[in-house]
Homo-oligomer: A and B are copies of this chain.
Amino acid sequence: MRKGEQTRQTIIDHALKLATQVGYQGLTIGRLADDLNLSKSGLFAHFKSKEELQLEVLRRAADRFIADVVRPALSAPRGEPRLRALFERQIAWERTWDKLPGGCPIVSASIELDDCPGRARDFLVQSQRDWAETLANAARAAIREGHFRDDLDCEQFAYDFSGIMLAYHHAARLMKDARARERAEASFEALLRAARRQ
């Protein structure tokens, strides 16, 4: 990796952490320059605008999500085992953010950018669509494997899966509920039970 590219990566990693603390609106080139002891003009050379900076942060978060959650789960056998792997890895992903200030950067962005039109929001929506599609496809494979019933609504399954994760995030982070994980697991087991062939 060239030096310029390394610097850029370091900046984006720091910006990702900062975004989870001060929000995407609060993530300005000025604030980032102060934090990293870099000149504003130097930062502008890397990112032409606040929007581009937001976009790069979201890209980094999405890349990490794919590397930490999606890709490793694909090595589990198709069907229910793969869905379980996706679930467990997403819980583990939420827990790594739990140790950092500010929590999962994708959940925060989903709330903060939901009414901010622009490239950052568009990217976020597309990556959330891809994730829903990954989950629906995994449910479709579970039908083909004979684990799930033929008439299962796989988009609905993906919607419910996401609801369980959002409830987990809420229970673990805001409510500091010691049983958050246990609750999420119980919801997931109920979702699998309702999806299975009788």
Contacts and interface: CB of A to CB of B under 8 A. Distances in A.
Contact of A194 (B103, B129, B190): B190
A115 B128 contact: no
Contact of A103 (B25, B114, B176): B114
Contacts of A114: 103, 173-174
Given A22-B25, A183-B156, A102 B128 contact: no
A108 interface: yes
A38 interface: no
A1 interface: no
Contact of A163 (B110, B112, B129, B166): B166
Contacts of A162: 167, 170
6 contacts: A108-B111, A112-B112, A114-B173, A153-B186, A160-B190, A163-B166
Which 9 A-B pairs have CB atoms at the shortest separation, nearest pair first? A163-B167, A166-B166, A163-B163, A114-B173, A114-B174, A111-B111, A159-B183, A110-B174, A162-B167
